[in-house]
């Protein structure tokens, strides 16, 4: 039989062990903090636009939030205070979502990189945002000139590098006339991505198919290529023939000058 004193000691010891066991377990708040310790987001935008980088950490509005630029470890803001001389940058708080944002106006490609928001909780939480600023361009891979032999197939490829929004469509024109789907000898294929790749395949080159071809992605400057259809003469032969014609013309222009100088020198002697 245990005495009342011994029974009391056992009960106290059990309660102590149970309390120590629960003390080692994280609270619901700590579990939440650990679970939300890191957020990743990528934001794409076009040069010249205004961007809002989100600090997507739950209930961050109740504590201090700081923004850093990772590439130069630059402190940009603490709370609503800005700590950079760049007037394009400022922190903003949205009461409805309880999220902080870093606003950057008139972005350029130099602004690309990683930005971190640090939330002053215990333990601290961070959100990592990658900003990708693109100067939207479209270019034709073959350059400004394309020489093809008569009767041969040829292909023109256009690459469209976009920022926050890809072009809704890519059109092709030949001598300012639209090339439509199903037109004989022409096949257009366009694949999504960044860049968007659009290709124009022409099954057979003829003199009528020579001229200026434009790739026209909506919202972008339209690049072009001048297609030359050769009838048995290569571009190298054309260039060499042109050089020979220039040399012959130069000879006929300069020959009288050399003759005059020769006669002049003979008269002096």
Whether 126 and 165 map to the same domain: the answer is: no
Q: Does residue 20 fall inside a structural domain?
A: no
Q: Does residue 21 fall inside a structural domain?
A: no
Whether 205 and 127 map to the same domain: the answer is: no
Q: Does residue 152 fall inside a structural domain?
A: yes
Q: Does residue 258 fall inside a structural domain?
A: no
pTM above 0.75, yes or no: no
Report the pLDDT value the prediction gives residue 214, as an integer from 0 to 100: 97
Report the pLDDT value the prediction gives residue 61, as an integer from 0 to 100: 64
Is 39 exposed, middle or buried, given 0-12, 13-18 or 19+ CB atoms closer than 10 A?
middle
Give residue 84's domain range.
35-134
Q: Does residue 19 fall inside a structural domain?
A: no
Tokens of 174: 């030949």
Report the pLDDT value the prediction gives residue 32, as an integer from 0 to 100: 40
Whether 114 and 184 map to the same domain: the answer is: no
Whether 201 and 146 map to the same domain: the answer is: yes
Run of H or E residues at 31: helix 28-35
Report the pLDDT value the prediction gives residue 70, as an integer from 0 to 100: 94
Last residue in a domain, options 230, 249, 264:
230
Report the pLDDT value the prediction gives residue 165, as an integer from 0 to 100: 85
Report the pLDDT value the prediction gives residue 233, as an integer from 0 to 100: 60
Report the pLDDT value the prediction gives residue 188, as an integer from 0 to 100: 96
Whether 111 and 161 map to the same domain: the answer is: no
Range 137-166 burial, b when 16+ CB lie within 10 A, else e: ebbbebeeebbbeeeeebebbbbbebbeeb
Domain total of the chain:
2
Report the pLDDT value the prediction gives residue 216, as an integer from 0 to 100: 96
Q: Helix, strand, coil shares of the chain as percentages rounded to 5? A: 25, 40, 35
Whether 145 and 71 map to the same domain: the answer is: no
Report the pLDDT value the prediction gives residue 90, as an integer from 0 to 100: 96
Does residue 133 contact residue 43 with C-beta atoms inside 8 Å?
no
Distance CA 263, CA 130 (A): 79
Whether 86 and 154 map to the same domain: the answer is: no
Report the pLDDT value the prediction gives residue 41, as an integer from 0 to 100: 86
Last residue in a domain, options 73, 106, 134:
134
Q: What is the CATH number of the domain that holds 55?
A: 2.60.40.10
Report the pLDDT value the prediction gives residue 240, as an integer from 0 to 100: 44
Distance CA 1, CA 224 (A): 102
Whether 112 and 194 map to the same domain: the answer is: no
Q: Identify the three-state secondary structure at position 243.
A: helix
Q: Does residue 260 fall inside a structural domain?
A: no
- Residue ranges of the chain with pLDDT lower than 70? 1-39, 59-61, 233-269
């Amino acid at each position: 039989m245990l005495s009342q004193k011994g029974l009391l000691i056992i009960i106290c010891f059990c309660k102590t062990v149970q309390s120590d066991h629960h003390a080692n377990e994280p609270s619901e708040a700590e579990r939440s903090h650990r679970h939300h310790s890191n957020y990743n987001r990528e934001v794409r935008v076009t040069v010249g636009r205004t961007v809002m980088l989100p600090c997507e950490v739950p209930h961050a509005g109740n504590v201090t939030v700081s923004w850093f630029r990772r590439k130069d470890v630059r402190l940009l803001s603490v709370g609503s205070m800005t700590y950079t001389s760049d007037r394009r940058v400022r922190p903003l708080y949205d009461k409805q979502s309880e999220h902080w944002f870093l606003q950057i106006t008139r972005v350029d490609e130099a602004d690309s990189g990683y930005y971190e928001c640090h939330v002053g909780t215990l333990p601290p939480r961070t959100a990592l945002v990658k900003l990708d600023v693109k100067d939207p361009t479209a270019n034709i891979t073959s350059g400004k000139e394309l020489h093809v032999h008569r009767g041969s197939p040829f292909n023109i490829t256009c690459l469209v590098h976009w920022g926050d929004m890809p072009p809704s469509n890519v059109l092709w024109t030949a001598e300012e006339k639209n090339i439509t789907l199903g037109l004989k000898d022409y096949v257009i294929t366009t694949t999504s991505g960044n860049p968007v790749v659009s290709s124009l395949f022409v099954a057979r080159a003829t003199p009528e198919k020579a001229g200026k071809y434009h790739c026209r992605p909506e919202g972008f400057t339209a690049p072009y290529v001048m297609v030359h259809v050769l009838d048995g003469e290569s571009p190298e032969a054309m260039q060499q023939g042109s050089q020979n014609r220039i040399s012959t013309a130069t000879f006929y222009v300069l020959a009288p000058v050399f003759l005059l100088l020769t006669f002049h020198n003979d008269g002096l002697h």
